[in-house]
Structure 1
Amino acid sequence: MTRFEAMLAQQGTCLDPDQKAAVYSDVNCIVSAGAGSGKTTVLSYRFLRLVLEGKATASEILTLTFTRKAAREMHQRIHRLLLSWKDDPVIAAQLAQFDQAPISTLDSFCSSIVRSSSVSYGIAQDFAIDDEQNLANARQCAMRLLDDEHRSEGAKLISTLYSPEDLIDSVLVPLLTQHYFLPQKVSEDAQRIIIEAVEKRYEQVKESFTSLLLRYSSLGDSSKTVQGVREDAVLLLDGIASSCGEEELFALLASPVGFRKKSGGKSEDLLFIKDTYDSYLEMRRLLCLALAVLNGREQLQSIVTFVQQLVEEYQMEKRKSGMLTFSDVSSLAVEILKENKALRKYFKQRFRYIMIDEFQDNNEQQKELLYLLAERLESEGEGIPKASDLEPDKLFFVGDEKQSIYRFRGSDVRVFKRLAGELTSVGGKSIELATNYRSEPALIEWFNTLFPSIMENNGEAYEASFSSLKTRGANEGITSTATILIKPYEDGERDEEEEEAKDSDAEAYSVACLIRKMLTCDDYLIPSPNGPRRPKASDIALLLRSTSNQLSFERAFRNQMIPYTVQSARSLMLEALASDFYAMLQLALYPEDLHAYATVLRSPFCKLSDASLAQVLDQQQLFSPPAGVGEEDELRLLSTQQFYRSLLQAMASESLSQLVFRLWYESGYYLSLTAHPEYQAYREHYTFFHRLAQKHEQAKHSVSQFVDYLRQNLAQNEKLDDLEVINEVEEGVQIMSIHKSKGLEFPIVIVANASSKGRAQKEKLSTFKGVALPHYLNQRFSVTATKTEVARHAGALFDEGEEQRLELAELKRLLYVALTRAETHLVVSGTFGKNNRALGEGKPADTLLLLMTRSLGLDISNPEFQDGLLTVGRIASISEGSLYQGEGESEQAFLKRLEAVQRWYETASPALEQKPLRYAVTSLVSHEEHSVAADLPLFASDELLMSLEQDLTASFGTFVHALCEQMVLKQELGDVRTCMPSELVKALGERELSIMIEDGLALAAAFIKSGWYQSEVEPYPVAAEVGFFSTTEHEGRKVVVEGSIDLLVDRPDHLLVIDFKTDRRRDAEVHRFQVETYMRAVKRIYQRPVKGCIVYLRDVETIEVWEGVDDDADTL
């Protein structure tokens, strides 16, 4: 028996066979550790064995983790284990040097490598890692290049391809910060590499497409459909044969010619057309994409050159400022170890063993780093070593392919899966820890029936495979449960008598009621050292895929008096605390702000009564009690006045976080809230608000800058990034994202909002052949007779749905992580609506709830089912007031309070003549038609519109405006019906709608193809629907006018205002006031020369541009 085995026996530690095999492994090994299988135990006991058997000292074992929290826990676990054997002389010696044990995150370790050789890359050794500052630097570099008066052709082109609000923050900043890490550059051959790949693909598709057209042209059936397809094929074949070049061929294939509906007959030819028509459409689409890229060679090169310059400037800024990102450090570490063989040798000699936890969350680059460190001592090869070039016993990987859920951070499950094959092929081992010690056996057995079908695959590298889990012994007296709560889709009108709450609120209310039941009955007992007991709120975790509906659950928990804590401050800016604190700080900066003053008076800072509010607002001095005010209100005012004065003095010397502390504690706000049990949850909002103040304090922001930030974000239901707090003790239900829950476990887990499809991200960048670029094309082409698509980049030519498959594969893993957090009881809830049921043949499940219901064979329209531990129940609809009904005050107290203020409310105010103070610009325009108005061309839709009982001419104009704006802004049209006002869709049949669509597209396309648009608009940045407020004289009064400019073109020497009209007659003078009002507003706002024009879409060849306007209005 070895000393290690003797120690285990003496301690009474019993490792299961899988764990023992991993701990005793003395070859390169990859351990697949399922949820709750004891991977930390394996890592710590293997560390102990290596030390006890004299194979390495603590300082020679490099232990790497994915997060700082995991590194701390690993350090503590190993240290405690060594400490329990401190009497052993070998262990005592290692404990004395344990502070030198390299147990850290992979990022931290990479930093130490880079500091050893950073000077070689022009980076000071004292560099800092600051992702926020790098975002700011990236933004500044992008703005510099775009604003340069001598800006490149690429800068000009990219400014026309993206909207101004997207270009910097959604395109160029992500391009720099997520794709080009030091020392990466844009390949000099980028354009050639892309074009060669496109040319090869084009020839392949063209050959198959021509073959299909030849087959169509030879069809002999005499039916009208077959004849039409044959004629189309002959026309296209002739066009392909006679085309003079790529541009002419693109014009042919991009046109609506040659598109038909699928055939429905049963003849041999009709069946052939039916079977091949989807292939015809797809090949034609691919040819259009390829031709668009080939025709856009110059645009591609100009964008490549622009990105090369942008990356160079950004990386120069990194070197000058010494501010790097974690990704920079990881990339540099690999580059340094590849190039600096002496440094590589130092690290190879320093570490005898390397253990890596959670490796499924890493990628190819991080694997390369570890291979470089594990290269044989005598080897000094070029590049990345192969598995056969590694030390045979140095690497020990731990991970679980089923728990790889960080693809958005760059992790790649395929790397972990390939690793086992690489290592075992050269003598390594692959071991699976198959026993789940976390969850009750009944839950594990249920998982074993649920996940095989969910994770079934055909061996794809990006898919995780599930094998049955083994179980531990059950806890006595515990009966596990699995509950699924579903609100089915209800097609029909809601009850108008009592308005129903949103489905998300109904779900939250149902979950809150279930938690209340868990806390007060014996149906959901959990184990404890003293036997089964009822759960406390802190034993429950609410996990969300997306935090978009978090507010509904917070509101429902408050309604049911359930305490909770949150991991992300989703609702902070919607709650009273943020509004009240903003109002007090705003009042301190701007004492004349009556709105802020009124908010403070009614808030817990003062709690002034309704009766006194109006009187106090009339006083000159803030918080001055007027004559006749009640004694209680007078005391409140004087107390608040005293605090307000102390706040003004404190603002001169105290930090932001100190001021927020003062607002919470010294004003009485905290005591006012905690006096009511239902307000306990608001204490956490203060914690987040205080953390927010600390972040602004660290950024050197002043009070006024902080207040500006609050003003812009109040009432926004948005997640505040990187705003996290650490709670010493978790009190209440823990609300967090599924990603945040990874590595944690809870007696009861509720996976809520499981029907969420997540947030759809619009593609704004493309990575093709290893080159990340913005879009460089805007070529529209037809994909059916009525539907168009836009070619933007070469990557679309090769995209065969891989991105969607990767997302769906990760969704399965996300479900596995969520469910396996549960120890004893599990609840899953969600609601089905019109668009999240994945109806239609072959449509994959794209929500957590659908994955489960399909695996279990549940009827989502009738969700009531019971089988063993599983209960499926229906979420009932609730009234909107349900979430706001609490205990409140008694009816007698309410009537007494009402009587006290009755006379004040009943006092009549003198009647006021009510005239609007704000008008739409269009409502002030005279519609008197001039005799000189000229008729414009009519369309088929005009006759149709005139025949309708309801006048829908304006609705048709709105539709055409929307088409024009989407085309100008280079946006996908997709189904153009989504641009139509609902009243137009409802009033027309299918044939009439087709006429409207055809005419609308014709009007919009005429403008886009006009010579005036291509010379005066297309080369310049354009913004659409630019709103503004201005003042003007109307009926002897100064009033506010509100307008929205159709297009605002940013030309070098002036701004151009464009207003679209679909009128049937040209009468520019009727609309001149409207355009000139727009021009005045733009001139005041931008302080630049302005021109304006009306574009009559029925005649885009005659456009009169007006120059200059008198500056006689105030713009707000």
Structure 2
Amino acid sequence: MMTRVICDDADARQAIKDDLDTTLVVEAAAGTGKTTELVNRILRVLATGRAKMIEIVAVTFTEKAAGELKLRLRAALEHARATADGDERPRLELALATLEEARVNTIHGFCAELLRERPVEASVDPLFVVLTEPEADRLYTRAFRAWLQEALTDPPEGVRRALRRSSFGGDADGPIDRLRNAGRMLAEWRDFPRSWTRPAFDRGATIDRLVQALHQLADLTSRASSDRDNLFVDTDGVRRLSRQIQLEQSVGPPAPGSGEPRHSSAASRTSPNGRTDLDGWEARLIDLTRDRGFSRTRKGSGYKFAKDVTRTEVLVARDALFADLQQFRKDDFADLLVRARDLIRDDAHVRRHLRQKFARIFVDEFQDTDPIQAEILELLADDVPGKLFIVGDPKQAIYRFRGTDVGTYWDVRDRLEACGGRVLHLTTSYRSVPEIQHFVNAAFAHEMTGNRSTLQADYVPLAQSRPATAGQPAVVALPVPKPYGRGGGPLRPSAKAIEDSLPDAVGAFIEWLVDAKNGWTIEGRPIQPKHIAILFRRFVSFGDDVTRPYINAIEARGIPHLLVGGKAFHGREEVETVRAALAAIEWPDDELSVFAALKGSLFAIDDEHLLEFRHRFGTFHPFRIPKELGGNSGEELALTGEPAAHLVPIAEALRLLQQLHRARNYRPVAETIGRLLAQTRAHVGFMLRPAGEQALANVLHVAELARQYEAVGGISFRGFIDELRDGSSMEAAEAPILEEGSDGVRLMTVHKAKGLEFPVVILADLTCRMSRAEASRYLDASERLCAMKIGGWAPHELHEHEDVEVRRDEAEGVRLAYVAATRARDLLVVPALGDEPWDGGWLNPLNRALYPPIATRRTATRGPKCPPFKSKDSVLLRPNDEVAGLSTVCPGRHTFADAGGYSVVWWDPTALRLGAEAPFGVRREDLIVKDVPKHVIADGRTRYDAWQLARHDARARGASASVSVQTVNEWVATVDSVQDRQEGQESVSIAN
């Protein structure tokens, strides 16, 4: 039966504490204290004796959240025990004493515990361990290579055609990498085993038809009245491909050096049996759709294109061919959770035992639960009233790429309602000040309308709890100072210009914020860098690090920062330096690696000396150091010219590489890296750089990766280098350099920030699209189907549902913007364009609440604690001396009456210190001054030697065991041995 939905916040919170025998689904908006309410419910269940701690299961989304939940539960138990009386007090005392018996874990951790308890029934090794990511990568790579070697002996159709496709644009993966990634994606979604359909498709006939259309268009465009005509230039790829196919049909493939272009990395040719090479033609036809000129053909000008050929005729033929090619691309196709689910679902005895064992199940962040996880929890709950308590917010469902979506949440909620459950809404938010809440309500009330087709959530307005703060703005629009390119033509914002200008504005605004004399505060204290978070939709765009310009702008102003989960670790210069040096150690015969190591930051030898060394001695080999430079090379390296004393540093560097090479397989990899860093004094070298903390942390993280490599079974120095090289083609997080609570601006993605809050939130990367133009996956949990694009191909099911999947991705983009905006407590800063909104960006949902009506855009008042804005224009520079128009927002405070009323301060770009230059050189030059008195140097050296000696002694003491640990059997054997020796000594004494 359907039960009522409780929307009153106070009634909902009371029901959570009192209605303990009813299954509850709590939809908690951002900042409403859902974790607190979950803890309150657990306390009441324990206090009333409905469950013991060992019978409690609490599932969270991350390990960090699980640890925090356990700490909060302990604090709540201690507080409740002190005030409890009657039967509740001993129950709470027992619960506190047995807190560690509760199952407070992630869903993956919980499933691992279940499998370890029932290894026989689950058919798993009782001592199984969960693979770490590096272990899983190595295992998969080994299996893939073995499969590929076998597959290449007689490649099946899919492999054969995949290998013929070439890479384009930002796709840096070659054919082998595409196959490897496709296999990995299939493995990750192996719990959705339903096969994809493949409709009948006559590939040969289709290619013949396309080739004929290709020849027709090539013929039409071959007789242009001018070879500079735009339409003629853009269809050049069509004519080249047509000419090459005609040559192959007549005399075979063009010979090397014939001048005929090749559109594929593998030369297209007729097969040995004389048949047409359909794979090659197919690959080049697909490549033609990616040709920039053909895909965006310009029309040119004039009615006539050539003699007896109209321009319209050519364009119609071009459009028809392009449409056919696009359709050709579409029609042509290219274990913990599973085991735990199968164990519970398929074994009735185990299922009955677990249902009796776990009396209450609490689930946090349920909107981020995938179908298998939901199935496991429902199987354990068994429709017992009050046994299951779930908390979630469909407005914050932003993990579709992990297989979760609002549809799964709705399905479970509807089933629980049908079995007598109740749905509660928590709306009072304790996080943001009222003006931010009103701004968010005004922005998203029209965007989230509860659409079951697009899986968009219903919007529930935030209700205020904190008092209003009238002393300073709560919402600031930060205009991009220079949003236009330099070209002529219509005034249009440029994505590149925005990406070049916005980071500088963000850095300048942060500089203004943290300046105490400006008077902006957080709870009465001046704003500090640690109060600020910059949130991104993405970290990488077409291989480029999106965060780097923002970091440069912050560093240029001397503001500390922390990049949380950045993906550019392997691309950092200091990491590449260490990787090059390790390659030189492993392969001393590889002169290029040795040269890279010598030139890199560790040795920093200049080009002039490297050139001279190579010219005079002929080699950079670490084992062929010339005798005159202290080497032991037995070869006659005739030396001429001046003495080579100035080249001694190169010889010393080569000698170090030689020593490290000799011992590399006799000591841990991390120790070799440590010696390399110590001998080159890399620690101080990296620290003296601008932002040296991050550089040094990244270098030390390489050593930590080496420890992890050996801890999980890595056995060779070369194997670690191979792993580093493989990692260089993937994204990896940079090493953290600041602990929580320490000073520094945080830079993180919205996904990383989910569940967190910050006093000041600045949204960045305005030009990032809200969603992809093409869907990458179609998921049908009820049919156990996951149709996804792999290796450049998309299955039939994905194409059938592509339109709705694109709309669902857009709906998630709206939710992502909601999550980002609701992280702010006191100040929300939104980037914007002064003349008009940027269309299609991920912050588009905020524009409705950010931009004032056209009629009032040119009038504004001064915001509280804001500097006097001298300009009436929120754009600093336009091309062609254009001026502000009626649609340009005037800097200042703009008031809105929507959603309870709020105001937005549009900042004046002229009030910021733009264009700050990044510092060059090193920091603390006073530490490396050459002209220092000798007694200062001697004193410093004495202190350093004393520190080294104390460090060595401390390490020696730490390496010796302070407590002897023995098993009982070992202890008994020791006692027996002592007794035997004593008895022997007594026998000797008696004999004497």
Deviations 1:756-806 (A, max 9, x none): 12785877877786555688999xxxxxxxxxxxx9743266326111111
Q: Secondary structure at the match of 2:111?
A: helix
Instruction: Give the partner amino acid of 1:143.
Output: L
Q: Aligned residue for 2:185?
A: 174
Judged with a 3 Å threshold, the aligned counterparts in structure 2 of structure 1 residues 160 and 682 are, in CA distance, closer, same or farther, namely closer
- CA–CA separation in structure 2 for the residues paired with 1:849 and 1:374: 40
Instruction: Find 1:356's aligned residue among 358, 363, 368.
Output: 363
Q: Secondary structure at the match of 1:806?
A: helix
Contact 2:59 2:104 in 1 (8 A): yes
- SS of corresponding position for 1:391: coil
After superposition, what is the alpha-carbon deviation per residue over 1:929-959, rounded to whole angstroms, capped at 9, x for unaligned?
xxxxxxxxxxxxxxxxxxxxxxxxxxxxxxx
Change (3 A) 1:122 1:153: farther
Aligned to 2:19: 25
Once the two structures are superposed, residues 479-503 of structure 1 have per-residue CA deviations (whole angstroms, 9 ceiling, x without a partner) of 34322334375255299xxx99854
Distance 1:832 1:640, change over 3 A: farther
Percent of aligned pairs sharing the same letter: 23
Distance 2:727 2:790 in 1: 34
CA–CA separation in structure 1 for the residues paired with 2:183 and 2:103: 38
Q: How does the TM-score come out when normalised to structure 2?
A: 0.62
1:681 counterpart SS class: helix
**Shift of residue 341 of structure 1?**
1.2
Residue 543 of structure 1: aligned partner: 535
Does the Cα contact within 8 Å between 1:440 and 1:480 map onto a contact in 2?
no
Q: Which amino acid aligns with 2:575?
A: A
Hey, what's the Cα distance between the residues in 1 that align with 2:778 and 2:424? 38
- Is residue 2:149 matched to residue 1:147? no
Q: Give the secondary structure class of the aligned counterpart of 2:584.
A: helix
CA distance in 2, matches of 1:889, 1:63: 51
Mapped contact 1:542–1:736 kept (Cα < 8 A): yes
Letter in 2 for 1:570: K
Q: Secondary structure at the match of 2:814?
A: helix
Deviation at 1:153, TM superposition (A): 6.3
Deviations 1:123-162 (A, max 9, x none): 434333334356436635752663354x666766776789
Asked whether the 8 Å contact 2:505–2:912 carries over to 1, the reply is no
* Residue 694 (structure 2) aligns with: 681
RCO higher in structure (CA 8 A, sep ≥6): 2
Count of aligned positions: 712
- 1:454 and 2:447 correspond: yes
- Counterpart CA distance in 2 for 1:474 and 1:466 is 23
Aligned to 2:894: 867
* 8 Å contact kept, 1:612–1:629: no
- Matching residue within 331, 338, 345 for 1:331: 338
Question: Residue 117 of structure 1: CA displacement?
Answer: 5.0
Aligned to 1:554: 551
Question: Measured at CA, do residues 420 and 775 of structure 1 come closer, stay the same or move farther in structure 2, by a change above 3 Å?
Answer: closer
Residue 507 (str. 1) matches residue 540 (str. 2): no
One of 477, 487, 490 as aligned partner of 2:484? 490
Please, what is the CA RMSD of the aligned residues? 4.8
Any idea what SS the aligned residue of 2:565 has? coil
Give the secondary-structure state (helix, strand or coil) at the position aligned to 2:818.
helix
Q: C-alpha distance in 2, partners of 1:290/1:605?
A: 53
Match of 1:373 among 366, 372, 380: 380
Correspondence 1:35 to 2:30: yes
From 719, 723, 740, give the equivalent of 2:752. Answer: 740
Amino acid at match of 2:531: D
* Runs of at least 5 residues in structure 2 that lack an aligned partner in the other structure: 1-8, 83-88, 168-174, 201-318, 541-545, 618-624, 631-638, 855-874, 876-886, 896-902, 931-992
| Match runs of 1:516-527 below 5 Å | 516-523=511-518, 525-527=520-522
Measured after TM superposition, the shift of residue 807 of structure 1 is 0.5
- Structure 1, 759-768 or 90-99: larger mean CA deviation: 759-768
1:877: Cα distance to partner? 15
Amino acid in structure 2 at the alignment position of 1:826: L
What secondary structure sits across from 2:905 in the alignment? Answer: strand
Q: Could you tell me which residue of structure 2 aligns to residue 956 of structure 1? A: none
Q: Deviations over 1:74-104 (max 9, x none)?
A: 1111122223455643322222222211111
What aligned pairs does 1:1041-1060 form with structure 2 within 5 A after superposition? none
Alpha-carbon displacement from aligned partner over 1:581-640 (angstroms, at most 9, x marks no partner): 234323333446665556555555345577766555566538949998999x79977986
Shift of 1:556: 2.1
Match of 1:175, SS?
A: helix
After TM superposition, list the pairs within 5 Å mapping 1:977-992 onto structure 2: none
Of the three residues 814, 817, 821, the one matched with 1:812 is 814
How far apart in 1 are the matches of 2:790 and 2:714?
39
Alignment of 1:658-669 (within 5 A): 658-665=671-678, 667-669=680-682
The AA in structure 2 aligned to 1:659 is T
Distance 1:486 1:770 in 2: 47
Per-residue CA deviations over 1:342-397 (Å, capped at 9, x if unaligned) read 1111111111111110000013332222221122xxxxxxxxxxxxxx11111100
Q: Structure 2 CA distance, aligned partners of 1:95 and 1:792?
A: 54
Provide the rounded CA distance (Å) in 2 between the counterparts of 1:818 and 1:573.
Answer: 28
Q: Flag structure 1 segments of 5+ consecutive residues without an equivalent.
A: 1-14, 196-280, 304-327, 376-389, 779-790, 839-845, 898-1116
How many angstroms does 1:68 deviate by? 1.2
Distance 1:590 1:154 in 2: 38
* Residue 569 to residue 120, structure 1, CA distance change in 2 (3 Å): same
- Tell me what 1:672 maps to: 685
- Corresponding residue for 1:755? 767
Alpha-carbon contact 2:122-2:343 (below 8 Å) kept: no
5 Å matches for 1:232-631?
Answer: 328-375=335-382, 390-458=383-451, 460=453, 462-474=455-467, 479-487=472-480, 489-490=483-484, 492-493=486-487, 503-523=498-518, 525-528=520-523, 532-548=524-540, 549-591=546-588, 600=597, 604-607=601-604, 615=612, 620=617, 621=625, 624=629
* Pairing of 1:910-921 with structure 2 (within 5 A): none
Aligned partner (choices 56, 71, 79) of residue 61 of structure 1: 56
- Relative to structure 1, the CA distance from residue 562 to residue 723 in structure 2 (aligned partners, 3 Å threshold; closer, same or farther) is closer
Could you state the TM-score of these two structures normalised by the residue count of structure 1?
Answer: 0.56
Deviation sequence 1:316-335 (CA, Å, 0-9, x none):
xxxxxxxxxxxx32223233
Q: Quick one: which amino acid aligns to residue 704 of structure 1? A: R
TM-superposed deviation, 1:883: 7.0
What does residue range 843-992 of structure 1 map to in structure 2 within 5 Å? 846-857=840-851, 862=888, 864-865=890-891, 866-868=893-895, 869-873=903-907, 885-886=918-919
What SS does the aligned partner of 2:339 have? helix
1:1078 matched residue in structure 2:
none
CA contact (8 A) 1:581 1:663 kept: no
Is 1:52 paired with 2:64?
no
- 1:1045-1069 CA deviation, whole Å, 9 max, x = no partner? xxxxxxxxxxxxxxxxxxxxxxxxx
Mapped to 2, the partners of 1:185 and 1:582 lie a distance apart of 40
- Identify the residue that residue 945 of structure 2 maps to in structure 1: none
In the alignment, the residues of structure 2 paired with residue 887 and residue 654 of structure 1 have an alpha-carbon distance, to the nearest angstrom, of: 38
Could you tell me which residue of structure 1 aligns to residue 268 of structure 2? none
Q: Distance in 1 between matches of 2:833 and 2:47?
A: 56
Report the CA distance shift for 1:727/1:761 in structure 2 as closer, same or farther (over 3 A).
Answer: farther
Match of 1:101 in 2: 102
Contact 1:444 1:469 in 2 (8 A): yes
**Shift in CA distance, 645/595, structure 1 to aligned 2, threshold 3 Å:** closer
Equivalent-residue separation in structure 2 for 1:648 and 1:776 (angstroms): 42
Q: For residue 833 of structure 1, report the CA deviation from its aligned partner.
A: 14
Closer, same or farther: CA 598–137 of 1 in aligned 2, 3 Å: closer
Q: 1:146 to 1:454 in 2, by over 3 A?
A: same
> Is 1:76 matched up with 2:68?
no
